[in-house]
């Protein structure tokens, strides 16, 4: 059974950092596209970052480029999101997701390629 379990969320002041983790089970995270998405109350879901199989081609939303880093750990079968220089607009529920593709593709940020989703972890950034 495929499971994605996020952790690492919390409350932090603007300028601070958090590291989100997504533990995968039921499949090998190294052979699929994995992504992070977020959704704030009253807003649409937004693609934050994605990484293709084998840790290739990390890609980011313009709003987080230079501040967030997505990475994959084959030994832990996990994917991480290091978030630095956090801003209040980064607040929201963060979800880990899996797409059964080698490459994430140009439309990854729509979320449509992703069939498996975690329950989310909450991030709150105060000004």
Q: Tens digit of pLDDT for each residue in 9-60? A: 999 999 999 999 999 999 998 899 999 999 999 999 999 999 999 999 999 9
Return the structure tokens found at 23: 């533990």
Distances in Å between the Cα of 57 and the Cα atoms of 49, 52, 54, 70, 90 are: 10, 6, 9, 10, 23
Give the integer Cα–Cα distance in Å for 4 and 120: 9
- Predicted confidence band at 123 (pLDDT cuts at 50, 70, 90)? very high
Give the integer Cα–Cα distance in Å for 13 and 123: 11
What phi-psi label fits residue 30: left (phi over 0), alpha (psi between -120 and 50 degrees) or beta?
Answer: alpha
Give the integer Cα–Cα distance in Å for 80 and 48: 12
The residues facing 69 across adjacent strands are: 82
Q: Rounded mean pLDDT of the chain?
A: 96
């Amino acid at each position: 059974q495929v499971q994605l379990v996020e952790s690492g969320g919390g409350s932090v002041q603007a300028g601070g950092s958090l590291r989100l983790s997504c533990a995968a089970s039921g499949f090998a995270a190294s052979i699929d596209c994995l992504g992070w998405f977020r959704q704030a109350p009253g807003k649409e879901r937004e693609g934050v970052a994605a990484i293709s199989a084998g840790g290739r081609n990390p890609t980011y939303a313009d709003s987080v480029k230079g501040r967030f880093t997505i990475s994959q750990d084959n030994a832990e079968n996990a994917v991480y999101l290091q978030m630095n220089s956090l801003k209040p607009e980064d607040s929201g529920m963060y979800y880990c997701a899996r797409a059964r593709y080698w490459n994430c593709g140009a439309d990854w940020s729509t979320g449509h390629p992703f069939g498996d989703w975690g329950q989310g972890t909450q991030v709150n950034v105060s000004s």
